Structure formats: structure tokens, C-alpha cells
Structure 1
Amino acid sequence: MGVVRRSGRGTAQHADYGFFGPESVTWKVWSYPTSLALGFLRAVVVEELDPFLLASVAQSGQVQARPRLRYDRTMQYFATVKFGDTASVLAAADTLMKIHSRAVGTDPVTGREFDANDPDSQLWIHLTAWHSILYTYEVFGPGKLPAHEEEQYWEECARAAEFQTIDPADVPRTREGIRAYFEAYRPRLIASEVAQGMMDFLLDADAIVLPPELPAPLRRLFTAATRHAVIATLPRWMRRLGGTPQPAVVDALAIAVTRPVIRLLAASATLQLAVLRVASPRTVPVLEPVLRGTPAVAPVVSTPAEAYAAHGPTPREQYAALLAARARKEGPAPYPPAHREPVLDFA
């Protein structure tokens, strides 16, 4: 199914509203332009402090070898789950499971085994993304959500977790619960030299978001603005771990300069799509119907339970089968060092 075209008008449409739809808080927050660079960039920077995620990233080396492609594909995946139609979301979940099924090995920092499909690791990535998207929306966008909308946001976060190996019961449903989760996870984070190097690399956002043919002064300006803005959203202890100190006056200046730019973008769907075509072209077909307010062919919102009843095994069930296969010395082989992943679309 995926994106279809309305005959005669050429307007992109989704087949249905997937699992959230225009009445959801997810659409309200994730479609706001703070998510495009600042929210996603904050999430991937913070995630590098987890040694198991870092080991998985370092195993392939593709973040540094093909940063724009990896960013584009990550944006496409998250956008598909939030805004894609039912069939596209289920296909994206299956694709992610297959990609992660070979991302296993030994973490060189802790000496422990890592598994990209492990529910604990998946929860760290999931909550870091949802928290970062909401937090940048609050700092650079309209501000905090009303209490009932924030409650709905975290309920929808738990719904999205069902497309990974995460048990939705493990997803906190309140701001206090999210804070408690990150506080409990904090002792597991490691400020290794590799982690700090990767965080520094990701904060040079022009290498990730902008095409290389753009003029160097524009690239430097973009990187300086996004770097300072993202660091301004990090707690002090995390800055110390990541080796990214920044004075409070720079925080205030970065927020003051960035906020009006974001609000200017938010006022124009055409401008947002123009920026998106530069930053993440794979995401454009997913977001264009949403930003333009184009209704789906079938304006229906599904539940994960309904969808998987017809589709087949859930990611958690697939992971259980994968673990059973590994116990029998079967299943997909781990990725070799410095492998090159195929270019896969999630829609």
C-alpha cells in the first residue's frame, strides 16, 4: 500500500491513517519542524552514551562512512511509524527487525554481549527519541503541552513501542516516570573516548543533514547554530560525560536565535518540505500528505493488536523466535566488521 496518488490531481495521499492520525498528539508534536534536525539530532547524540548502542554503531562504521544516508533512513523509519499507513508501518517494523537481527557481538568497553534487538536497548533508543522530540518542541516551539495532551503523548509512545521488541508495559506514562527512567539508566552510560568522538561527529550536523555541494560558509553557520542549540538542551551532567561544555549565556543565545527560525518554518508547509527535501529526501513522501493536510484514502486509525492479528507475528514474537534459533546455533550470522548495509526503504 504505502503512499498513493490521487488520480488527476497528483496529490500525495496515504492509504489510511496508520496508528495515530490527525487527532493524535503524536502528529501535533512530531510534525512540528523542531523534530527535523534538533529533536532527531539530540536523540542520536544522547544515545551514543549507551555502550551497547555505541558498540552496535561502531560494528558497522556506517554512521561515519555514510552519515547522510543513515540519518535519512532513520528519519524515514520514525516518520513512517508515526505518519505512514498501516501496511507501511508493519513493513518498516519487519525491516528494522531484519536489520537488527545481525547486529550482535561483544561490546569492547564492557566486555558484555550486545544485541540491537534487545528490548532493553530498544527502550533506551525509543524513549530517548520520544523525549528529545517533545523536549525540543517545548524549548524551541510552542512550549509545554497541556497536561491531558502530554498524558496522551506518552500513551501513544507506548503504542509505538509495539512496533519494536519493547514490552509497552515498560514505557513510562508520565513526565515523572520518564525522568525516573533516565535517572535509573544514568549509571549505565559511559563517557568513553569513542562515545565522545561519536557525539562530537554527530554535532557537526552539516555532514549529516546538508548535501556537500552547499557553500562552506552556509554549512559552517548551520553546524554552529544546531550544535549550540542541541547542547543547550542537554543536562549539565550529560555535557560532562559527552565532553560538550557550553556556558549558560551561549545556551540562552542559541535558544533565542533558533526559536524564531523554527517558528518561521512552522508557518509554511512549503518551506518545511523544501528543507526536508534537502535534509531527508526519503521522508518527504511520508510527511508531505500530513503537512499539506491531505486526507487519507481511508480515514481510519488502526490499533497494533488489530493489525498484527491480520499481519502475523509481532516484533516481540519474532524476537522470541530469533532467540530460539540462536540457541539452536541457527539464524542470521552477525555482521562482519565494517560491513556495508544495503540501502533499504522503510515504506
Structure 2
Amino acid sequence: MNTFRDWITGLTTAPDLTPAEDYGFFGPDSVTWRVWSYPTSLTIGFQRAVVVEELDPALVAAVDKTHEIYNRPRTRYDRTLRYFAMVAFDDSASTVKAADVLVKIHSKAVGTDPVTGTEYDANDPDSQLWIHLTAWHSILKAYERYGPGRLSEADEQRYWAECAVAAELQTCDPADVPRTRDGVQAYFERMRPQLIGSDIARQAMNHLLQAEVMLPEMPRALRPATWVVTALLRRGTLATMPRWMREMAGLPTSPLLDTLAWLPLRLGFATVSLNTRLQLALLQLLSPTTVPVAARVLKKVPAVAPVTTTPRAAQARLGYDNPRDAHRELRARQRHRVFGAQQAPSDEGIIESQAILGTVG
């Protein structure tokens, strides 16, 4: 769905609300469902995550090599948001399959970082931990700043415990996921010396802070309003980032503008959160492929089997390897193509993923 007209048409078409097979890994009583289903998540929370991630030189090298965020930013945003929504909300069988395919997708993201001269691999456990924690931390940060507020101590402990469960879908070790706010902050402090505000990182971050690149082309009459809203979202996202991070990336650091953005954003998100139809309309605009996954949660559609499980149990039940060990042959073949034969990696993971995460065209 790439045009504004497509979006209008989509609003009149009810999403597929076929009940999920089960509640996946968290369920209606989880802190994850409460935080991730709030409208701050798919906007500022997710935007913050993809922006902050670019400070990792290995990650931004892979992103810059494909240029997907510049050539197809809306498609990339849509597919990535759908995957994270599946992790949080979808049934266990669908999600472990998507996670398995993600390993194949990441197998082609190997190369040499032009800034540091070191090799990168998107399936590297450290890279996966960085992406995972940045996403979960950003979603919570946006929820607490522009949503209902700070979680209780007990709920926060549950949130990070659930984050560790979700890490079983990545190549990183769930034991490395911090279980407290202080532990998460300590992780980012340990990462800080490794982060680089390189030219390619700054270019990517500034590009991704322009929320309009995630939207379909808007009618001329709506463009001024769109500019105001996206500028407000940009400022709101910047305000969630620590000063040192913004300075590293050469991003604006005005405390006054940060403060001025808080009230309209908080009121706006509160208003959206009260109307399920409005939430789905917003999601349809930002990430149409995510709507069928999130709609079940927002409309409280019961699962066929109202139970939860864990990724490890689902992987064992359905015959999938631990992501760290999955598709070793393909990963080795991709590395040989890039580092040995000096060829481009194959697209087999991307091709297979389109039936799960949406098309890349």
C-alpha cells in the first residue's frame, strides 16, 4: 500500500481478524502487550529504535551498503515493524518461522565496515543484542515519556524478563539481556565507546528522523499538516535520546523545544489510544502489513488456544534450530561469496521472507 488513495481504500476494508492459534509468548496479561500496543510504540518508540541503532558502525555499514533505507524506506519500515509486532503479538508458530527466515535474511548482510575496517555480520550475537535491546528500550522510553508514564518496579521487572524471552528468537544469548533499568543503562554505557557518529551514521539518522519518508505520498492539501506532525514526531523522538548520543550524531539538543513538544504529543497519543479505529487507521498509514497482527490485540480477538509458550519450546515443537545455530551452511556460503569470491550475496532469504513480512518491491 504505497499511495494515500490506497490508504483511504484500506480504511474501508476490514483487516483479517482470523483468530491466532495461540497467544504467542506474552499474551493479554503481559506488560509487553500493554506497552507495545500503545500508539507511542509504532511512532516515536520505533523511530527512536531505528535511529539509535545506526550508531553501531557494523550495523550502519550493512544498512549503507544496501541503501534500502534510502531507496525503499517505507517498505523497509513496514517489514521491520511487522516483524517486531509478530514477536510481541503473533502466535508462536508464525513467529518462530519469521525468526528463522530472518536469520536467512541477515546471512547476506556481511562485509567490511569502511569506517573501522573490520568485518560485520548481521547475525553476530553482539549485533543482534544491540538491535534487540535498543528496540525494547526505545519502545518503553516512548511509552513512559508520552504515554501513561513510568512502569511500577514490579511491571518493569516483568517487562525486561519478557524482553529476555523474546531474545530467544535472535542469535544473541538471552542470558545477556539485562533484567533491570540499571542493567540496561549499564549495557548502553558499555556500548558507548564502540559507537561512532560517522558520516554514514549521521546521514542515516537524519534520514530516518524524517517521519515523512515512512508515509505514502500525501495530497498537496495535506502536506502542510503532514509537515507539522512529522516535525513534532522528529522533535519528540530527539527528546528521548540522551544528550551525549545526540551530540555524537550531530543532532539538535534544544531543551526548550524538547519541553514544548511534550504536551501536544502526550495529549495526541492519549486521544488516539482511546479509539481503536483511529489506532488502526494510523497503523494502516505507517505499516499496512502490521495491521492484521496488531488488530487482533487492539480488538481483543481471543486466540483459538488461549495459552502462551516460549520461543525455545515452539522451536523444538516445530523443528526449528536455535537461531544462533540455524542455517550455518547458508551463512558460510554467503560469507564465501562476499569475502572469498568477491561476489554479491544471494537473495534467497529476502525472496522467502516476502510471504511472511511483505514484498520488498
**TM-score exceeds 0.5:** yes
Alignment pair present for 1:62 and 2:68: yes
Aligned-partner Cα distance in 1 for 2:100–2:277: 32
SS at match of 1:48: helix
Correspondence 1:93-242 to 2 at 5 A:
93-208=99-214, 210-214=215-219, 215-242=222-249
Identity %, equivalent residues: 53
Instruction: Classify 1:328/1:244 alpha carbon distance in 2 versus 1 (closer, same or farther; 3 Å).
Output: closer
For the 8 Å contact 2:92–2:311, the answer to whether it is kept is: no
SS at match of 2:354: coil
Aligned partner of 2:292 in structure 1 is 285
Aligned partner of 1:88 in structure 2 is 94
Cα RMSD, aligned residues only = 2.4
SS at match of 1:162: helix
Normalised TM-score (structure 1): 0.91
Gaps of 5+ in 1: 1-9
Aligned partner of 1:344 in structure 2 is 354
Instruction: Classify 1:326/1:61 alpha carbon distance in 2 versus 1 (closer, same or farther; 3 Å).
Output: closer
Structure 2 counterpart of 1:278, one-letter code: L
- Deviation of 1:346 after TM superposition, in Å, equals 3.1
Aligned-partner Cα distance in 2 for 1:22–1:134: 17
For the 8 Å contact 1:141–1:263, the answer to whether it is kept is: yes
For the 8 Å contact 2:17–2:295, the answer to whether it is kept is: no
- Deviation of 1:334 after TM superposition, in Å, equals 8.5
Listed one character per residue, the Cα deviations across residues 248-299 of structure 1 (whole Å, up to 9, x for unaligned) are: 1101001112100000011111110011111100000000010011111111
For the 8 Å contact 1:26–1:82, the answer to whether it is kept is: yes
Aligned-partner Cα distance in 2 for 1:328–1:38: 39
Aligned-partner Cα distance in 2 for 1:66–1:327: 25
- Deviation of 1:219 after TM superposition, in Å, equals 2.4
Aligned-partner Cα distance in 2 for 1:121–1:62: 19
Structure 1 counterpart of 2:251, one-letter code: T
Alignment pair present for 1:316 and 2:324: yes
Structure (1 or 2) with the greater helix fraction: 2
Gaps of 5+ in 2: 1-15
Structure 2 counterpart of 1:316, one-letter code: R
Instruction: Classify 1:144/1:310 alpha carbon distance in 2 versus 1 (closer, same or farther; 3 Å).
Output: same
Normalised TM-score (structure 2): 0.88
SS at match of 2:224: helix
Aligned-partner Cα distance in 1 for 2:297–2:340: 37
- Deviation of 1:36 after TM superposition, in Å, equals 1.1
- Deviation of 1:223 after TM superposition, in Å, equals 1.8
How many aligned residue pairs are there?
A: 337
Aligned-partner Cα distance in 2 for 1:335–1:107: 16
Instruction: Classify 1:242/1:335 alpha carbon distance in 2 versus 1 (closer, same or farther; 3 Å).
Output: farther
Aligned-partner Cα distance in 2 for 1:191–1:127: 19
Aligned-partner Cα distance in 1 for 2:170–2:266: 33
SS at match of 1:114: strand
